[in-house]
Amino acid sequence: MSNVTERAMMVNLSISQWTAVKNDRKVTREVADAHGSQEDMGKFAKSLVAKETLEDIRRIASTARLAHYKRTLPWKDGGDRLLSSAGYFAYGEEMRELQTAFGQAVDKFCTGYDAAREDARIKLNGLFDESDYPATSDIRSKFALVFDVSPMPDSADFRVDLGAEETARIKSQIESDSRAMLDKAMRSVWERMADVIGHMTDRLKAYQELPGGKVQSPFRDSLVSNVVELLDILPTLNITEDARIKQFAADIRANLVQYSPAQLRESETLRADVASRADEILSKMSNFLG
């Protein structure tokens, strides 16, 4: 663990957004009364502004979450995830770019907030309620995209004086918990490899050319590019520097991504060959997935 704490850190991504959705209790009660149903069996939710006004903010937030999970590994059940020092600069660069884009999208929304509220007043008509809306001066505070970095937990840093025996017990527990979570994190690396390869072989086997130039179960170019993308970031995910992961990455690159999507679509022989190689790699990999 001491080596790992020198090669990795904890990172937490926090994103907050104004949902612009409100449950209308009055309308919910009216609908329930009209149908003779219990009020708690349904809810009427109204959009407070037009969907497109928040579309950019939501898209960037979703992109940030995907980037965060792509470049990090699971740790505890909370928000902290594991980020390698090797992957820090790429992670930080991407997240800062997304922070900037998020801030610009929020600024644009806040500039048009009063107009969006007045537009909603017309569209909602009798459902409009001024009290549903934050004040113009407060709306900016409803949005944030922040990532925080902190050291990995290290039993050597526990210095509270609880007596030698209890302190030793707590340090041992910290070490044990950290090892268990690290094992879980590294297992997720194997699972990522297995998932992307399994998807590739399934799609290659399902692809079938039909009479008239039609295709059954077509696949996108991402079938290959997703594998390449994972291979490119694997060195930053392999925090324990597991030689087996390095070898599997080399095998995958040598056997599964040497052909373009177009070549795979054009040749049944190539599809069958790559699918067979993928199955073989998956079979070997199963030994490490349990």
Q: What is the reported pLDDT for 155?
A: 54
Last residue of a domain, one of 152, 174, 190: 152
Domain of residue 273 covers: 157-288
Examine the domain organization and report whether 61 and 102 are in the same domain. Answer: yes
Asked if pLDDT for residue 149 goes beyond 70, the answer is: yes
Q: Return the half-sphere exposure (C-beta side, CA atoms, 13 A cut-off) of residue 176.
A: 6
Asked if pLDDT for residue 250 goes beyond 90, the answer is: yes
What is the average pLDDT score of the chain? 89
Q: What is the reported pLDDT for 189?
A: 95
Last residue of a domain, one of 104, 132, 152: 152
Q: How far apart are CA 3 and CA 237, in angstroms?
A: 15
Rounded to an integer, the average pLDDT of 198-211 is 94
Examine the domain organization and report whether 131 and 193 are in the same domain. Answer: no
Examine the domain organization and report whether 91 and 221 are in the same domain. Answer: no
Examine the domain organization and report whether 197 and 98 are in the same domain. Answer: no
Residue 18, burial from CB neighbour count under 10 angstroms (0-12, 13-18, 19+): buried
Last residue of a domain, one of 121, 152, 183: 152
DSSP notation for the chain: -HHHHHHEEEEEEEEE----EEE-HHHHHHHHHHHT--GGG---EEESS-GGGGHHHHHHHHHHHHHHHHH-EE-SSSS-EEEEHHHHHHHHHHHHHHHHHHHHHHHHHHHTHHHHHHHHHHHHGGG--GGGS--TTTGGGG-EEEEEEEEPP-GGG----S-HHHHHHHHHHHHHHHHHHHHHHHHHHHHHHHHHHHHHHHHHHH-EE-GGG-EES---THHHHHHHHHHHHHHHH-TT--HHHHHHHHHHHHHTSSS-HHHHHH-HHHHHHHHHHHHHHHHHHGGGT-
Q: How many domains does the chain have?
A: 2
Examine the domain organization and report whether 180 and 280 are in the same domain. Answer: yes
Examine the domain organization and report whether 25 and 134 are in the same domain. Answer: yes
Examine the domain organization and report whether 182 and 118 are in the same domain. Answer: no
Examine the domain organization and report whether 57 and 14 are in the same domain. Answer: yes
Rounded to an integer, the average pLDDT of 204-222 is 92
